[in-house]
Amino acid sequence: MIEFTDRLAVSIAREIEAVFVFPLHGRETLIHSVEQAIAYIEGYDEVVEALPVVNYIIEIRYNTGDRIDGKFTTKDAAIDFLRGYLPPPVIPAA
């Protein structure tokens, strides 16, 4: 019973501390060795024209150190995921 109440207390006290959104642009590149990957990054032009978004990476961090990650291929899917973490609406007292 104590373990349950401890977990319940942590769950109630857990609050979202930060939300990170990483829109990823460009194309993935398959590289077959670490050495080739290093050479690719060293020669990569970071100031290229904007490419379409490939994925939205979302990271939700809690004040307890917990983290939830999501990777989405569409804007709508990323938004739907985030909406699941909105607080419930406050219903005014009658």
End-to-end CA distance of the chain: 37
* 0.75 surpassed by pTM: no
Q: Where are the alpha helices (DSSP H) in the chain?
A: 2-13, 34-43, 75-83
pLDDT at 57: 93
Q: Which residue has the tokens 């938004």?
A: 79
Residues 55, 27: contact at Cβ < 8 Å?
Answer: no
Is residue 9 predicted with pLDDT exceeding 60? Answer: no
Reduce the DSSP state of residue 89 to 3 states and report it.
Answer: coil
For residues 94 and 92, what is the distance between their CA atoms, to the nearest angstrom? 6
* Calpha distance 1→47 (Å, rounded): 58
Per-residue pLDDT of 40-66, as tens digits, reads 888 887 776 567 888 999 999 999 999
Q: What average pLDDT does range 19-34 have in this prediction?
A: 85
